[in-house]
Structure 1
Amino acid sequence: MYIPNNIDLDPHSALVRQLTSYQVRFLQWWRLRGPSEFHDREMNLRMPTGGVKGSEWTRYHRMRPSDYRWGVFMMPPDRNTVVFGERKGQVAWTCVPEEYRDLLLDHVTVQGDVENAAVEQSHELTQMVPSAIDLEHLFQFFLEEGRHTWAMSHLLIEYFGSDGADAAEGLLQRMSGDAQNPRLLDAFNYHTEDWLSHFMWCFFADRVGKYQIQAVTQSAFLPLARTARFMMFEEPLHIKFGMDGLERVLYRSAEITLREDTHAIFDAGAIPLPVFQKYLNYWLPKIFDLFGHDISERSRVLYQAGIRSPRNFDKLEGTEVAVDVRCEDRLVSSTAPAELAINAVMRRQYIAEVGAIIGRWNQQLRRLGLAFELQLPHERFHRDFGPCKGLAFDLDGNPVHDADGQRLAALLPTPQDLAGVRGLMGRELGEGRTAAWLAPAGASLDKLMPA
């Protein structure tokens, strides 16, 4: 079967054979772990064209998901030197340097692993899809997460020999949430079992993906940089799916709260704003964990080698960054060289970005006259990774005594909350129709404002 590409694969017969063989096993994974229905329903879906400029890179088609073809796409080289780190100004790499082989192999493997995991953790959402356009968005998400797996698998197979081929096979063997062979990053082992979770995942977790991909767009390893630069075309739409979905939920929740003059609106067919907040409290700590340890020698080496760098990091070189350090059963405020604290730097850039959006939502809620404010949980809250693991903090990051866990439990979705949300998740695919618990596509809080 032909593999779409813009890198002139045809002369590389051995690589084509390997990728074609991998394609067979990838399709087996897709049929087993991907969506179980709607493969033959016509949808409006985009596919890469191979172009590399502006809107030329993709084209929308009226097509069935079963007709989508995963392929290998890269941007053309934009430089031939290393642009940051200790090797700045040296010749960039078209092959993998032996001294960084294991580091790069691990990095590419993890990036590929999260792409398939994102499909597995949300594949049951077709059963409760709220509208036909949301079904199209869901399949676009599924298909492009799979394409990103192809992007990483290509790098593994072409540049890392038998170890890379084995790593590419591992992407198909691990499974989200599996007790014996789970996905590599813990957040990807939690399933998004309703559409509020899915919207939060797309908005928050795919935004982390954007940060991680952007960090290697100027990598000294040019094949990784070229691959990441093309992936940056695709990632923003997934974030937009999430943001638009959350705004549609907030629209309906605010509308019904104002009408009923109460936050107890499950019976009125909408998600209560306090439950929306609890979902934020549940998902964001797991997503914060995706940035890794605050102090990381691995991240320092990746930066010094010229492989990975946060945006605007040149402004922080040689500075100290505030970090939390674990001291037995408490945290101590400290500092670390910025190169050691790259993960913390990236997380805080991210927090500032999403915090500004939540702040805008709060402004809109206030203008509607609603006495409710959403809160971005502090990066210390409910963490399962890093120095805060196992310690209790409130949403503001202050330590609390919570021996019985009751204070924490009150901030997270209860079984009743989860049942209430899932009770709203009926499937709606009628033409021009949308499930009642969220507003139709295109709605946002600012459109609920009185004229």
Structure 2
Amino acid sequence: MSSINYNDKIPNNVNLSEDRTLQRALEHWQPNYRKWWNDMGPEGSQDFDVYLRTATSVDPQGWASFGYVKMPDYRWGIFLNPRDAERQVNFGEHKGEKAWQDVPGEHRANLRRIIVTQGDTEPASVEQQRHLGLTAPSMYDLRNLFQVNVEEGRHLWAMVYLLHKHFGRDGREEAEALLERNSGDEDNPRILAAFNEKTPDWLSFYMFTYFTDRDGKFQLCALAESGFDPLARTTKFMLTEEAHHMFVGESGVSRVIQRTCEVMNQLKTDDPARLREAGVIDLETIQRYLNFHFSVTIDLFGADESSNAATFYNTGLKGRYEETKRDDDHKLYDRTYNVLAVQDGRLVERSVPMLNALNEVLRDDYIKDSVGGVNRWNKVIEKAGIPFRLKTPHKAFNRSIGTLSGAFVSPEGVMMSEAEWVSHEREWLPTNEDRAFVASLMGRVVEPGKFANWIAPPVMGINRQPVDFEYVRFN
């Protein structure tokens, strides 16, 4: 089960050829996917030879090869981690039962909803990023963008396989709809609000791949605990690929910060206006971008109290992050958890049943993980000897979901009036002027080893190649 057959029209390690009905259905979907890719994938990239990694097995010790590929010819396929015949459901009412290989009838609608929502995010991010190749700050970064794009496309295939395999006509219709919705479309938008936001510049892209792909990590980790074994095995392999996306974001922001700090020390100034004149992104603007992407992303976890989250857990469909490492009964009937609410004009903590607060549990796990990368960015600033520190805003800041939706809370967690909040909004969130300035820096640099003025080169190249390697051949 670990090796992948690239002789098949659809590469896979699920013995697709043994299920001719399923194979025909997926081969019918494949041309529609390719049309979507040509219409909505990376703009102007169809003829480029790109140095991409391609999965060759699901063995974590050696699962990928690197080589030049034209992106429309990338071998998207269906890859699941090997099956563990002894695996059990590890939480909820079915704890201790054998993991399901088929969809239990009573959970069919909820499972389909989970898979469709996850699947919808994958093509959405490709659509959000489709113009970025035209303003790449280096060939190295252009290649990383394209790698992220093709893997998001493969993650779509992962969810489409589950829909076709396990949900019959309903699944086929949902798979078609995944190609019909488009990010930001007024009439047929993507399901989740964050995936209808624009990604107009590379600072936004790095923030997106750091913060929003990290949401993907936590959602996939929760699904990797599922009692529905094909979903768990699919998402476990997706996580192997997802790690690179977060690396692109963390290292990208770090390199932007490094370059800004270099210019701050060269000019001996922390004046944002002078730094902008020098063609770098001031730290205050980076902080505002951070505030925006962090707050939009934590909304993706949903309402702080959710009967759906309780149902998904009770029925064994979606667990917590690192469920099996937690020291409790994994049923949570008597457990409580604190969530924030607004009461009498101030933020207060309320204790609620943990089953209903599982979105908040996952959100808090995500926040702890996000802070780690921000601390690493601060080490770059500290090493440069500059007395400025980035920070994640309070989780009640700029929220649009749950009990905190519409609350006027500062990044420090202070409740205020709407008028006070509006008077400070320009200090906390990217302004039109900020976005216009960042956009003005976005000129294309694609000569091997050359980098835009506003970003530092990476420490090392991809797959042990030099930084000035020809990662993209434009033909």
Q: Name the TM-score class by shorter chain.
A: over 0.9
Structure 1 residue 321: deviation in Å?
A: 1.1
Tell me the distance in 1 between the aligned counterparts of 2:345 and 2:179: 39
- Given that residues 221 and 235 in structure 2 are in contact (C-alpha distance below 8 angstroms), is that contact kept between their aligned partners in structure 1? yes
- Given that residues 38 and 72 in structure 2 are in contact (C-alpha distance below 8 angstroms), is that contact kept between their aligned partners in structure 1? no
- Gaps (5+ residues) in structure 2? 1-7, 461-475
Aligned to 1:381: 397
How many pairs are equivalent?
442
Aligned to 1:359: 375
Whichever residue aligns with residue 407 of structure 1, its letter is H
Instruction: For 1:98-109, list aligned pairs within 5 A.
Output: 98-109=105-116
Whichever residue aligns with residue 355 of structure 2, its letter is E
Of residues 4-13 and 410-419 in structure 1, the stretch that sits farther from structure 2 once superposed is 410-419
Of residues 310-319 and 196-205 in structure 1, the stretch that sits farther from structure 2 once superposed is 310-319
Change (3 A) 1:39 1:442: farther
1:66 to 68, 72, 85: 72
Give CA deviations for 1:11-54 in whole Å, capped at 9, x if unaligned: 211101100010011111111111121222222101111x2212
Of residues 141-150 and 92-101 in structure 1, the stretch that sits farther from structure 2 once superposed is 92-101
Structure 1 residue 188 corresponds to structure 2 residue 195: yes
Matched residue SS, 1:71:
coil
Aligned to 2:423: 406
Matched residue SS, 1:336:
strand
1:170 to 165, 168, 177: 177
Instruction: For 1:326-341, list aligned pairs within 5 A.
Output: 331-341=347-357
Of residues 219-228 and 399-408 in structure 1, the stretch that sits farther from structure 2 once superposed is 399-408
- Gaps (5+ residues) in structure 1? 444-451
Aligned to 1:437: 454
Whichever residue aligns with residue 22 of structure 2, its letter is L
Whichever residue aligns with residue 60 of structure 2, its letter is G
Aligned to 1:349: 365
Matched residue SS, 1:3:
coil
Aligned to 2:218: 211
Instruction: For 1:152-163, list aligned pairs within 5 A.
Output: 152-163=159-170
Aligned to 1:449: none
Give CA deviations for 1:63-82 in whole Å, capped at 9, x if unaligned: 22122021111111123421
Aligned to 1:118: 125
Instruction: For 1:293-304, list aligned pairs within 5 A.
Output: 293-304=303-314
1:394 to 391, 403, 410: 410
Structure 1 residue 100: deviation in Å?
A: 0.6
Structure 1 residue 432: deviation in Å?
A: 1.2
Matched residue SS, 1:274:
helix
2:247 to 220, 227, 240: 240
Tell me the distance in 1 between the aligned counterparts of 2:61 and 2:147: 17
Give CA deviations for 1:265-323 in whole Å, capped at 9, x if unaligned: 11101100000001011111110011111111111111111221123453364432110
Aligned to 1:139: 146
Aligned to 1:315: 327
Whichever residue aligns with residue 288 of structure 2, its letter is K
Structure 1 residue 329: deviation in Å?
A: 7.1
Matched residue SS, 1:420:
helix
- Given that residues 37 and 72 in structure 2 are in contact (C-alpha distance below 8 angstroms), is that contact kept between their aligned partners in structure 1? no
Structure 1 residue 9 corresponds to structure 2 residue 16: yes
Structure 1 residue 324: deviation in Å?
A: 1.8
Whichever residue aligns with residue 301 of structure 1, its letter is T
Structure 1 residue 252 corresponds to structure 2 residue 262: no
Structure 1 residue 422 corresponds to structure 2 residue 439: yes
1:57 to 60, 63, 71: 63
Instruction: For 1:215-226, list aligned pairs within 5 A.
Output: 215-226=222-233
Structure 1 residue 183: deviation in Å?
A: 0.5
- Given that residues 95 and 159 in structure 1 are in contact (C-alpha distance below 8 angstroms), is that contact kept between their aligned partners in structure 2? yes
Aligned to 1:448: none
Tell me the distance in 2 between the aligned counterparts of 1:315 and 1:335: 20
Structure 1 residue 161: deviation in Å?
A: 1.1
Aligned to 1:263: 271
Of residues 406-415 and 185-194 in structure 1, the stretch that sits farther from structure 2 once superposed is 406-415
Tell me the distance in 2 between the aligned counterparts of 1:70 and 1:267: 44
Tell me the distance in 1 between the aligned counterparts of 2:312 and 2:173: 23
- Given that residues 120 and 176 in structure 1 are in contact (C-alpha distance below 8 angstroms), is that contact kept between their aligned partners in structure 2? yes
Give CA deviations for 1:186-224 in whole Å, capped at 9, x if unaligned: 000001100000001001111110111111212111110
Aligned to 1:447: none
- Given that residues 256 and 281 in structure 2 are in contact (C-alpha distance below 8 angstroms), is that contact kept between their aligned partners in structure 1? yes
Of residues 233-242 and 40-49 in structure 1, the stretch that sits farther from structure 2 once superposed is 40-49
Matched residue SS, 2:340:
strand
Of residues 106-115 and 384-393 in structure 1, the stretch that sits farther from structure 2 once superposed is 384-393
Q: Give me the TM-score of the superposition, normalised by structure 1.
A: 0.94
Tell me the distance in 2 between the aligned counterparts of 1:287 and 1:88: 31
Whichever residue aligns with residue 401 of structure 2, its letter is F
Tell me the distance in 2 between the aligned counterparts of 1:213 and 1:285: 20
- Given that residues 339 and 352 in structure 2 are in contact (C-alpha distance below 8 angstroms), is that contact kept between their aligned partners in structure 1? yes
- Given that residues 254 and 380 in structure 2 are in contact (C-alpha distance below 8 angstroms), is that contact kept between their aligned partners in structure 1? no
Tell me the distance in 1 between the aligned counterparts of 2:266 and 2:340: 45
- Given that residues 5 and 72 in structure 1 are in contact (C-alpha distance below 8 angstroms), is that contact kept between their aligned partners in structure 2? yes
Whichever residue aligns with residue 354 of structure 1, its letter is S
Tell me the distance in 2 between the aligned counterparts of 1:410 and 1:36: 34
Tell me the distance in 1 between the aligned counterparts of 2:157 and 2:279: 41
Matched residue SS, 2:184:
coil
- Given that residues 345 and 415 in structure 2 are in contact (C-alpha distance below 8 angstroms), is that contact kept between their aligned partners in structure 1? no
- Given that residues 330 and 391 in structure 1 are in contact (C-alpha distance below 8 angstroms), is that contact kept between their aligned partners in structure 2? no
Tell me the distance in 2 between the aligned counterparts of 1:54 and 1:76: 11
Structure possessing the higher relative contact order (Cα contacts under 8 Å, 6 or more residues apart): 2
Aligned to 1:76: 82
Q: Percent identity?
A: 39
Q: Give me the TM-score of the superposition, normalised by structure 2.
A: 0.90
Matched residue SS, 1:342:
helix
Structure 1 residue 328: deviation in Å?
A: 8.7
Aligned to 2:155: 148
